[in-house]
Amino acid sequence: MSTTDESRDAETRQDPAARAAAEDPKPAAGTATRDSRRVPLWALVVGLVAVLVAALGGLAAYGGQTLPERLGPPVEELAVERTIIAPGSIELVLRNTGPDPVAVAQVFVNDSYVDFTGADEPIGRLASDTLVLDYPWQDGQPYTVSMLTSTGLVIEHVIDAAVATPEPGFEFLGLMALVGTYVGVLPVLLGMLVLPILRRTSGRVVRVLLALTVGLLAYLAVDALLEGIDLAVLSGGAFGGPILVFLGAGLAFLALTTIDKVLAGRRPDEQGATGMRLAVMIAIGIGLHNLGEGLVIGSAYAVGELALGAALIVGFAAHNTTEGLAIVAPLTARRPSLWSLVGLGLIAGAPAILGAVIGASVDNAGLSALLFGVGVGAIVQVIIQIVPGLRDRASGRLLDPAVLGGLGAGVVIMYLTGLLVAT
């Protein structure tokens, strides 16, 4: 290396500006100009969305004109979303679940022609309308409503036993709130009274209790899934049928995962705080399940399929008391305050009140199916949170005879107490 190069290197090491210029040479001429001329990202996104909207709008407006006429008769489908029975009349809330408009021309009840009002215009795809039949029904009698469409198709709806629909006034809503308290809040709080006993047990017993909790929740998840699918079928499939259950489950799973991450970030990672976080997640999952139970109770009572009485209350109390045990199982390592326990009980049990009120006043099978799916997703997410706590710290095993026994006992307990509940 020459003397000139050595002196230049020495100057570069001494001068910070020269050293930065040597390490980060300037871009070639024209590069900065090209970067400044680039279209902003937001402008590209807006332009793409505008093109898609214009293209889809054009297809919707003019695409059908280029296609041939559909062969075959119209596809007409009507689902009865709700039946309201009042003195001297039967009211049907209809929804078009098929691809073509449906016009109701005549209505028969038990093969007798009846006058009706409503549904004056054809009901479009996914639209709804109300049909009011002028008919002197008799209490407890079965009726078959036959709706004749303008194309001659007959769509039937069966009323197993006619019972006057309760009016959704303050007295009725108060009754549903009381029922929700009896079957939701009180049993959960009673089940939480076992916490002082749990705190004196060993770590092995706590693992068994957590396994028992997983068994309880697994049973609730399966029960809610089956109930939701049954309700989705009754909805007529206008908004997806059983897909509603899985949609609700997916949304609830993602929502509870987000809530868990937020709670984990706000609390120090210690055993007591982790136990409280897990107890909150269990309470939320059980609460969403009890929301579905409240829906079933409210809707069944509104249509006369449920008799409120001591047998129902005791059955639900025995069934849901085990849910309180599941909530306090992770709290054996700490001493929570009384208000914390009451709050957990309300999170788990109070949704039954809301569910009973919604079920009695709305009685929509599609909405009920969606909310049952929400309960399923929440419970699945909670089970995932509990499973790591089942691992034995000494051996590292997740499943051993004690844990398997706890899982089986949880399922059996929920099954046996569920037999006491007739809804």
Q: Please check the confidence at residue 270 and state whether its pLDDT lies above 80.
A: no
Instruction: Name the band, by pLDDT with cuts 50, 70 and 90, for residue 402.
Output: confident
What is the pLDDT at residue 104?
92
111-120, 213-222, 370-379, 386-395, range with the lowest pLDDT: 386-395
Q: Please check the confidence at residue 158 and state whether its pLDDT lies above 70.
A: yes
Residue 186: closest CA among 348, 410, 297: 348
Mean pLDDT computed over 294-322: 70
Whether the Cβ atoms of residue 370 and residue 231 lie closer than 8 Å to each other: no
What is the pLDDT at residue 390?
80
What is the pLDDT at residue 171?
81
Residues spanned by CATH 2.60.40 within the chain? 78-159
What is the pLDDT at residue 379?
86
Relative to beta strand 154-159, strand 112-114 is unpaired
137-151, 258-272, 327-341, 356-370, range with the lowest pLDDT: 258-272
Identify the top-confidence range among 101-110, 206-215, 230-239.
Answer: 101-110
Alpha-helix runs per DSSP H in 62-198 = 170-180, 186-191, 195-198
Residue 186: closest CA among 280, 279, 282, 290: 290
Per-residue pLDDT of 320-354, as tens digits, reads 787 888 888 888 777 788 888 899 999 988 998 88
What is the pLDDT at residue 98?
84
Whether the Cβ atoms of residue 125 and residue 94 lie closer than 8 Å to each other: no
Residue 86 has phi, psi (to 5 degrees) of: -125, 165
State how far the alpha carbon of 147 is from the alpha carbons of 81, 160, 212, in Å.
Answer: 15, 17, 51
Residue 355: closest CA among 181, 166, 169, 168: 181
Averaged pLDDT of the chain? 80
Whether the Cβ atoms of residue 282 and residue 326 lie closer than 8 Å to each other: yes
Q: Alpha-carbon distance 377 to 406, whole Å?
A: 22
Mean pLDDT computed over 27-42: 63
Strand order in the sheet with 78-86: 78-86, 89-96, 128-134, 116-117
Q: Alpha-carbon distance 296 to 179, whole Å?
A: 12
Q: Percentage of the chain surpassing pLDDT 70?
A: 82
Per-residue pLDDT of 48-90, as tens digits, reads 999 999 998 888 788 777 777 777 777 888 888 888 888 899 9
Identify the top-confidence range among 88-92, 168-172, 335-339, 415-419.
Answer: 88-92
Q: Alpha-carbon distance 340 to 57, whole Å?
A: 54
Residue 384 tokens, joined: 């995932």
What is the pLDDT at residue 137?
92
Q: What is the CATH number of domain 78-159?
A: 2.60.40
Per-residue pLDDT of 95-126, as tens digits, reads 888 888 999 999 999 988 999 998 888 999 88
